[in-house]
Amino acid sequence: MLERVQNLIHKDDKCKTIIQIVLNNPYIELKDVYKDLGEENLADYDKALETLIDENIILELTSQAGSSIESRVPKKILIINPEISDQLEI
| CATH number of the CATH domain containing 77 | 1.10.10.10
pLDDT of residue 41: 77
pTM as predicted: 0.83
- Domain of 44, in residue numbers: 2-81
Residue 47 lies in a domain: yes
In a domain, 63, yes or no: yes
Per the document, the length of the chain is: 90
Greatest Cα-to-Cα distance within the chain, rounded to the nearest angstrom: 43
Residue 89 lies in a domain: no
Tell me, what's the pLDDT at 4?
79
Give residue 3's pLDDT: 80
pLDDT by position in tens, the chain (length 90) = 778 778 888 888 999 999 999 999 989 999 999 998 887 778 889 999 999 999 999 999 988 766 666 567 788 999 999 988 877 766
Q: Confirm whether 7 is domain-assigned.
A: yes
Counting the structural domains of the chain, the total is 1
Is 22 within the bounds of a domain?
Answer: yes
Does residue 50 sit within a domain? yes
